């Protein structure tokens, strides 16, 4: 006799909306493989429980068993601890889309035209992809696996949706399988994503599929789906937000897109954990090619929210806060609080703690009684606002568990909100009054020397940049202060970087057309008309630069930049400081303390933080851009022999690292990195966003540095 605990619930679709027990729900889901760097694909209940605990702590409600049925007890754990399941059959055959398809040979000669019917080539790839889905040779195998999946877990109430498999094309075999599932278990829903692929000799029948499922489509695609009246099925992203390396830049955009439509039922992030095994006789992790293996997919196995050993990555923290149970909004002088839980009243589950800060100084803190808010409803948060006195007022809210649950302890942090009540999200900058100083100017054929007391500024006439900055004969910058447009490519830059390389962004250098110096009442101004160029490429940027030197300890760099419209968007634009290798301490006001970017900063908050170059660096298995901080008002660096205080005309980004971007880009693993002989500080007018383009949509235009011209000013004080 086998005893099983069972449960009752109702899953259905009404008027294009997914309902559980007659209530609309949106999946906060993740794809999970059985995987461990030591035990491989063999997972114990203890290991699975560690995953479930982390998922609950980071606000996930659903799991897709990608891409096979998990061990029988896994669904029982999901019954017990409250996870929705998409139970997937063990079918995946997307290798068929790699079968050779004839295409025209290309010529090296520009005068030889290559005629290519790309639509026909694409259709042939799709036809190959759908081979097993249509071939009678595989009918019984597909039916057998689908039936075994359903028969085994038919009594598990956590299973809401049956998945016919993953990425295996579409055709008669899957239509037959879907028909069988609906006949055997009409109380559950059926999903299969590959119905979007149509074989040239077959008309797809999706009658027995309850959801319109897709992978990695953009938020614009979601909008287009709901703008078409004939689309009446709920929309599900069974994979999205490819979490490879420094990623998940569009998490908040997806959340907002889903909330706009009742028929959008959420999505499942790809994926839960990295799949990196340890190297032989080592605690270092490797990936494809490190084991003499062929074929391999390089580091495409490192695409998890957590590392293979379950260490948390910033992608998971970003998702956690995007998926927080409550959200606050400051609107018309009041604070509106919305409950995004599916079935639980806000006051029964969440306690609210707050801090009120004026120009970063703590004014009040405490706990606010959680209002009574029904699921998916909004109420006003009772809080007395301060008067608007011109300061930057920030209200930080923390949402914590009111009671312990089996997987989450009491007072666990579920998420945060930060409301800017007054001010423009900038901390005011203060500069001490300065007295005019006498400047001494010297010219040579290649350089301009300007001296204020014991401080010397040296400019390179050929490049149009500050090549040396010395105080009491001690170099403040160890290498010339040059313009910087490059970053160590992200995994998400794997497609766009081909365009960056083609445009020469990775090897850009500056050249001056003209350079002149003039003295004004309170400053010396060095003007340079220069360009950012690359060998054998067209000009990247045209730059008109003014260096305003006020005295021995303060200068400004004003830049007017122009970019040709046909060039790809820039990774970044700013200045790169090479500073002496010493024990630097950095204090800054920006989104922190974790890394933050224009499209990835929802796990961070504006505030005053401290860091060092090593602390600021974020290790990714494959090195790439990391550790930047978005919307910075100032950074103050102090060391044994002085320091720098840097602000800008507008909020800027900065990165402080013991590694150069060239070093990060050149190494395969983080443990291969060699520290620079300098401390590297990048101060950026803008840094382009992160996105999830390693397997997903391109970076949104709003997050690209794609302006054709801009002005920026950097202000530097020597300490």
pLDDT digits (tens, 9 = 90+) for 593-625: 999 999 999 999 999 999 999 999 999 999 999
d(CA 452, CA 475): 15
Among 266, 400, 382, which Cα is nearest to 324's?
Answer: 400
Helix 251-259 vs helix 314-322: crossing angle, to nearest 10: 20
Helix 251-259 vs helix 219-226: crossing angle, to nearest 10: 10
Q: Looking at residues 668-685, what average pLDDT do you find?
A: 97
If residue 320 lies in a helix (H) or strand (E), which one and from where to where? helix 314-322
Residue 3 binned pLDDT confidence (cut-offs 50, 70, 90): confident
d(CA 523, CA 439): 8
If residue 500 lies in a helix (H) or strand (E), which one and from where to where? helix 496-503
Residue 56 binned pLDDT confidence (cut-offs 50, 70, 90): very high
d(CA 193, CA 586): 48
Answer yes or no: are the C-beta atoms of 195 and 165 closer than 8 Å. Answer: no
Residue 262 binned pLDDT confidence (cut-offs 50, 70, 90): very high
Catalytic residue among 167, 175, 318, 437: 167
d(CA 588, CA 633): 7
pLDDT of residue 471 exceeding 90, the answer is: yes
Structural tokens at position 698: 């391109």
Burial class (CB in 10 A: 0-12, 13-18, 19+), 688: buried
Residues in the chain: 719
pLDDT of residue 596: 98
- φ/ψ (deg, to 5) at 533: -125, 170
pLDDT of residue 573: 98
Q: What is the DSSP string of 572-604?
A: EEEEEEEEESS--EEEEEEEESS--BTTB-TT-
d(CA 266, CA 263): 9
**pLDDT for 146-191, tens place per residue?**
999 999 999 999 999 999 999 999 999 999 999 999 999 999 999 9
d(CA 92, CA 589): 48
d(CA 241, CA 148): 30
pLDDT of residue 518: 95
Percent of the chain with pLDDT over 70: 100
Structural tokens at position 9: 């619930």
d(CA 131, CA 197): 12
Q: Looking at residues 129-135, what average pLDDT do you find?
A: 96
For the chain, list the domains and their CATH numbers. 23-102+116-322 (3.20.20.80), 324-421 (2.60.40.10), 440-718 (2.70.98.10)
Residue 540 binned pLDDT confidence (cut-offs 50, 70, 90): very high
pLDDT of residue 659 exceeding 80, the answer is: yes
Residue 94 binned pLDDT confidence (cut-offs 50, 70, 90): confident
Catalytic residue among 172, 175, 214, 239: 239
Q: Can you say whether residue 415 is alpha, beta or left, with left for phi > 0 and alpha for psi between -120 and 50 degrees?
A: left
Residue 427 binned pLDDT confidence (cut-offs 50, 70, 90): confident
pLDDT of residue 431 exceeding 80, the answer is: no
Helix 72-81 vs helix 139-153: crossing angle, to nearest 10: 40
239 is catalytic: yes
d(CA 485, CA 540): 10
Long-range contacts of 413-418 (CB under 8 A, 24+ apart): 414/59, 414/320, 414/324, 414/325, 414/326, 414/350, 415/59, 415/320, 415/321, 415/323, 415/324, 415/325, 415/326, 416/321, 416/324, 416/605, 417/324, 417/326, 417/327, 417/328, 418/394, 418/605, 418/606
pLDDT of residue 19: 98
Burial class (CB in 10 A: 0-12, 13-18, 19+), 362: exposed
Residue whose structure tokens are 């992809």 = 129
pLDDT of residue 433: 72
pLDDT of residue 97: 84
Q: Looking at residues 17-24, what average pLDDT do you find?
A: 97
d(CA 483, CA 532): 8
Structural tokens at position 666: 């050149």
Structural tokens at position 639: 């060391």
If residue 524 lies in a helix (H) or strand (E), which one and from where to where? strand 524-533
pLDDT of residue 361: 96
Who's near 410: CB < 8 A, 6+ residues apart?
Answer: 401, 402, 403, 404
pLDDT of residue 434 exceeding 90, the answer is: no
Residue 110 binned pLDDT confidence (cut-offs 50, 70, 90): confident
d(CA 133, CA 148): 18
d(CA 305, CA 302): 9
- φ/ψ (deg, to 5) at 654: -145, 160
Q: Note the pTM of the prediction, 2 decimals.
A: 0.96
Among 139, 141, 146, 157, which Cα is nearest to 68's?
Answer: 146
Residue 429 binned pLDDT confidence (cut-offs 50, 70, 90): confident
Residue 423 binned pLDDT confidence (cut-offs 50, 70, 90): confident
**pLDDT for 321-371, tens place per residue?**
999 999 999 998 899 999 999 999 999 999 999 999 999 999 999 999 999
pLDDT of residue 435: 76
Structural tokens at position 264: 């959008």
Answer yes or no: are the C-beta atoms of 465 and 458 closer than 8 Å. Answer: no
Residue 581 binned pLDDT confidence (cut-offs 50, 70, 90): very high
Among 512, 548, 516, which Cα is nearest to 529's?
Answer: 512
Percent of the chain with pLDDT over 90: 92
Higher local confidence (pLDDT), 99 or 345: 345
Average pLDDT, the chain: 96
Residue 648 is classified by DSSP as E
Q: Looking at residues 618-644, what average pLDDT do you find?
A: 96
3-state SS class at 436 = coil
pLDDT of residue 527: 98
Q: Looking at residues 415-433, what average pLDDT do you find?
A: 85
pLDDT of residue 428: 78
Who's near 632: CB < 8 A, 6+ residues apart?
Answer: 588, 589, 590, 648, 651, 652, 653, 654
Residue 113 is classified by DSSP as P
Structural tokens at position 541: 């940027």
| Least-confidence region, from 157-161, 426-430, 447-451 | 426-430
If residue 607 lies in a helix (H) or strand (E), which one and from where to where? strand 605-611
d(CA 448, CA 324): 56
Structural tokens at position 92: 């995946």
Among 427, 678, 439, which Cα is nearest to 555's?
Answer: 439
Q: What is the dihedral of CA 149, 150, 155, 160, to 10 degrees?
A: 100
Q: Can you say whether residue 414 is alpha, beta or left, with left for phi > 0 and alpha for psi between -120 and 50 degrees?
A: alpha
d(CA 395, CA 303): 35
Residue 315 binned pLDDT confidence (cut-offs 50, 70, 90): very high
Residue whose structure tokens are 């982390």 = 54
pLDDT of residue 231: 96
pLDDT of residue 637: 97
d(CA 148, CA 669): 41
């Amino acid at each position: 006799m086998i005893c099983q605990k069972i449960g009752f619930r109702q899953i259905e679709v009404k008027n294009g909306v997914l309902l559980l027990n007659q209530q609309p729900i949106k999946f906060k889901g993740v794809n999970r493989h059985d995987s461990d760097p030591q035990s491989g694909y063999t997972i114990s209940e203890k290991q699975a429980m560690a995953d479930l605990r982390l998922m609950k702590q980071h606000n996930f409600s659903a799991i897709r068993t990608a891409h096979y049925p998990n061990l029988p007890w896994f669904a029982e754990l999901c019954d017990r601890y409250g996870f929705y399941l998409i139970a997937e059959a063990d079918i995946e055959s997307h290798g068929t889309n790699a079968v050779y398809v004839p295409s025209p040979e290309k010529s090296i000669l520009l005068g030889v035209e290559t005629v290519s019917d790309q639509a026909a080539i694409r259709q042939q790839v799709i036809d190959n992809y759908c081979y097993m889905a249509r071939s009678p040779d595989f009918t019984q195998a597909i039916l057998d696996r689908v039936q075994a999946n359903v028969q085994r877990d038919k009594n598990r109430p956590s299973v809401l949706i049956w998945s016919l498999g993953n990425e295996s094309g579409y055709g008669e075999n899957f239509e037959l399988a879907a028909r069988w599932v609906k006949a055997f278990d009409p109380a559950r829903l059926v999903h299969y994503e590959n119905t979007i692929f149509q074989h040239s000799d077959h008309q797809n029948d999706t009658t027995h599929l309850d959801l319109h499922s897709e992978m990695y489509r953009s938020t614009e695609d979601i909008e287009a789906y709901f703008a078409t009246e004939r689309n009446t099925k709920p929309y599900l992203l069974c994979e999205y937000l490819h979490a490879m390396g420094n990623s998940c830049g569009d998490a908040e955009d997806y959340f907002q897109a889903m909330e706009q439509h009742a028929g959008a039922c959420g999505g499942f992030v790809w994926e839960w954990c990295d799949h990196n095994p340890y190297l032989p006789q080592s605690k270092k992790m490797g990936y494809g090619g490190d084991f003499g293996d062929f074929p391999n997919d390089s580091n495409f196995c490192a695409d998890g929210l957590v590392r293979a050993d379950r260490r948390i990555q910033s992608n998971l923290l970003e998702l956690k806060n995007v998926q927080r149970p409550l959200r606050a909004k400051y609107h018309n002088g009041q604070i509106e609080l919305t409950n995004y839980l599916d079935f639980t009243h806000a006051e029964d589950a969440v306690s609210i703690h707050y801090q009120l800060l004026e120009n970063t100084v703590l004014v009040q803190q405490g706990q606010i009684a959680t209002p009574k808010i029904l699921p998916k409803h909004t109420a006003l948060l009772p809080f007395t606002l301060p008067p608007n006195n011109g300061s930057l007022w920030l209200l930080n809210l923390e949402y914590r568990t009111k009671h312990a649950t089996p997987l989450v302890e009491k007072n666990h942090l579920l998420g945060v909100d930060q409301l800017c009540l007054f001010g423009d999200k900038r901390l005011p900058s203060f500069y001490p009054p300065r007295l005019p100083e006498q400047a001494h100017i010297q010219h040579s054929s290649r350089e301009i020397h300007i001296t204020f007391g014991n401080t010397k500024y040296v400019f390179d006439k050929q490049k149009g940049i500050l090549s040396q900055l010395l105080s009491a004969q001690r170099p403040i910058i160890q290498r010339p202060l040059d313009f910087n447009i490059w970053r160590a490519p992200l995994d998400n830059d794997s497609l766009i970087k081909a365009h960056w390389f083609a445009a020469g962004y990775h090897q850009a250098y500056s050249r001056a057309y003209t350079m002149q110096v003039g003295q004004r009442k309170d400053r010396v101004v060095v003007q340079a008309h220069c360009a950012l160029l690359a060998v054998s490429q067209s000009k990247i940027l045209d730059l008109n630069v003014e260096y305003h030197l006020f005295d021995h300890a303060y200068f400004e760099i004003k830049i007017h930049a122009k970019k040709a419209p046909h060039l790809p968007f820039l990774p970044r634009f700013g200045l790169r400081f090479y500073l002496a290798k010493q024990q630097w301490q950095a204090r800054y006001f920006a989104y922190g303390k974790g890394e933050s970017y224009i499209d990835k900063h929802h796990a961070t908050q504006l505030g005053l933080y401290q860091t060092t170059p090593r602390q600021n660096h974020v290790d990714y298995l494959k090195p790439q851009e990391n550790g930047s901080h978005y919307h910075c008002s100032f950074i103050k660096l102090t060391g044994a022999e002085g320091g720098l205080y840097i602000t800008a005309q507008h909020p800027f980004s900065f990165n402080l690292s013991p590694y150069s971007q060239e070093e990060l880009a050149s190494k395969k693993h983080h443990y291969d990195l060699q520290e620079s002989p300098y401390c590297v500080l990048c101060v950026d007018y803008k840094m382009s966003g992160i996105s999830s383009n390693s397997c997903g949509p391109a970076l949104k235009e709003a997050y690209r540095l794609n302006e054709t011209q801009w002005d920026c000013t950097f202000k530097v004080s020597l300490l």
